[in-house]
Structure 1
């Protein structure tokens, strides 16, 4: 699974550790084909970097997705590798992973969302 690393020239915060990246990867591997944005012909390897951008991005930036989207796209460009996703497809995948991580974080710590 790719890791996000901020360049020295970036004004991005240092990545936080995601509580359980293997759990996230297992979840998305099992469900990606059922997502509304799934495109036939794409494999999990196409989506995995986008999911990583989303759930690590939430741990890294927190807050509202819209405020972090520009940084998420920069991270996507760094780690997408051979992914065949269009930018719109990548956006949908990292938004889904961001929102899932946000829900999981709030459920684990109700004070987190306040």
Structure 2
């Protein structure tokens, strides 16, 4: 990747990380600049000690900034994922832990639209 392109992706991710830090400062984040058009920011909430209300406030703030979310449950992995996309911005993936259900290995749930404002 050319330096200019990488710099633009990193600048957009940095703006997103400022919003994430405001609401959930202890979350583990990962930036994957090679994924998608603008890169992916992955936030892993397992073991972070963040409350559900902090995550809801983060989701509402991101929706106010143009992000639209989908929700996907992965009981086999013990994970609930919210994927947010917006034009000309990095994709954000919020991954929350849920109770693992090893019996649900063949149960695939489709991603459904989700709004933090209505939660």
With the length of structure 1 as denominator, give the TM-score of the two structures: 0.28
Point out the structure with the larger helix share: 1
Point out the structure with the larger strand share: 2
Larger radius of gyration: 2
